[in-house]
Amino acid sequence: MNSEERLLKELVNGECEASALAEALKLPLDTVMSLLSRFESEGFVSVKRESCSRFEATAEGAQYAEVGSPEYRLAMAVSDKTTLEDATKKARLSGAGQGIALQWAIRNKWVTPRKDGAVTVFEKAGKPVDSVAEALRKIIAGKTVSEKESQLLASRKLAVAREEKTVTAVITPAGKTFIGSHSQDSSQLTPQMLKDGSWSKAKFREYDLSTITAPLNVARKHPYKEFLNRIRVELASMGFKEVHGPLVELEFWNMDALFMPQDHPAREVHDVFKLKGGKGTVHDKKLVYGVKKAHEVGLAGSRGWRYEWDPEVAMQLVLRSQTTAVSARQLASGLEAPSRLFCIGRVFRPDEIDWKHFIEFNQCEGIVMDDGLSFRELLGYLKTFAINVFGVKEVKFIPHYYPFTEPSVDLAIKLPDRGWVEAGGAGMFRPEMLAALGVDKPVLAWGLGIDRFALSGINTEDIRDLFSTNVEFLRGK
């Protein structure tokens, strides 16, 4: 019995959905859809096509459904005069979850912040009801939620709408007649036909190019990963060599070697995540002495910062806040001119999370060392990178201050529908910083927030989307 007869006989038992037919007949869904389309045109079956939209919890939403929303857990952890640190610890919140929890707990009027001396404490202000987690549990159970609930979950990216298409078929009287006296037309050319020559006498059915087919999803790299790899190729083609460095770094390399003083507000330019109890060491004593001297009394004509430099502070471990630390390591290793280096790596900074800020992001660091380099050439590099490499349309330069470069500049790029945003800083490394590292050539340097360039490069409006695991979102990029 061929596939056509088997399908029609299955429909004799009653109305059936296409995927159920494919499973019952052990046929590919594409084959079943093709047969249904042909039988519909021949009047043997009646086909009903329907589309419906249903909500599905994201991975984050599923977690909320299981353990409760961050704001509910925070509110339940707050009693009288509870500090944020105590509440988040009790609620087992960390990282991005803390900011989300605090924002929504205050918005829902579940907690109230107030000053208790020099400390901000929180007090319970209402009876929390975890409607977010409850709505997510309904969705996971296949139940419907209100339009207000669905809009809230979608705006927080806790649930996404999925469009489902169903195709249902029922056999017609003509189809029942066809079962008994079915056509001898062949639907496919088989190897046996080629062997025995029966193909020359067979009558083959025409292909229907309007046949409904099942969607085909092919594998691909994450679009943000593709963007980063493309940038690497572009920079390598311009003569730059890629270098790498550790994510857990010494304050020495992250700040001190970059002429960022330990007792000066300039240190606050890069807030960092510090590792408790962690310390490292720098074995090159001459290098350590050079950095110490640059800070205390100055080098290369500088007077330094005029304070007592503390090596204990410099040896503390932090999460790298800038890939400039990689450049400092390279320069101190005896790098010879001319050199062009770049580093694309993850950095970490405490920050308020929004569409253009995150506590961890990728930075594209670069340096050029050679005789006779000027600030004008640095601006030329930045404009070339922004337009030709990263693909933005408009750029502008804004004078700025960094403790390790002079002169210094910020690069701003224009994003569609978002306007101008800062995309990174750059400048000429200061002579006293270079002297401490044993370098006597001018060095151009920049650190670009490559994630903000990616907003334009992969056409998305939120920096958090760059790390999305939402398959439907990724397929559209």
CA distance 218 to 471: 12
pLDDT the model gives residue 268: 63
Residues 191-218 pLDDT 10s: 888 888 888 877 776 666 665 566 677 7
Query: Do β-strands 339-348 and 241-242 pair in parallel, antiparallel, or remain unpaired?
Result: parallel
Helix H, strand E, coil C: the string for 202-247 is CCECCCCCCCCCCCCCCCCCCHHHHHHHHHHHHHHHCCCEECCCCC
Is-contact 287 331, C-beta < 8 A?
Answer: no
For residue 56, give the H/E element and its range: strand 45-57
Q: Which two tokens stand for residue 83?
A: 């500090």
Q: Which residues pair with 165 in a beta bridge?
A: 51
Is-contact 230 59, C-beta < 8 A?
Answer: no
Q: How is 249-289 classified by DSSP, letter by letter?
A: EEHHHHTGGGT--TTSGGGGGS--PEEEEEE-----HHHHH
- Strands (E) across 272-394 are located at 274-279, 316-319, 339-348, 360-369
pLDDT the model gives residue 409: 93
Domain range summary for the chain, segments of one domain joined by +? 3-55+163-200, 70-129, 225-472
pLDDT the model gives residue 373: 92
Burial annotation 407-441 (CB, 10 A radius, 16+ → b, else e) = ebbbbbbebeeeeeeebbbbbbbbbbbbbbbebeb
Q: In the chain, which residues have pLDDT < 50? A: none
Give the domain 225-472 fold.
BirA Bifunctional Protein; domain 2 (3.30.930)
Residues 75-101 pLDDT 10s: 888 887 788 788 888 888 877 778 888
Whether 3-55+163-200 shares its CATH topology with 70-129 is answered yes
CA distance 205 to 184: 10
pTM of the model: 0.56
Give the domain 3-55+163-200 fold.
Arc Repressor Mutant, subunit A (1.10.10)
The order of strands in the sheet holding 82-83 is 82-83, 119-124, 111-116
pLDDT the model gives residue 463: 74
Residues 404-461 pLDDT 10s: 999 999 988 887 777 888 788 999 999 999 999 999 999 999 988 888 777 766 777 7
CATH code: domain 70-129 is 1.10.10.10
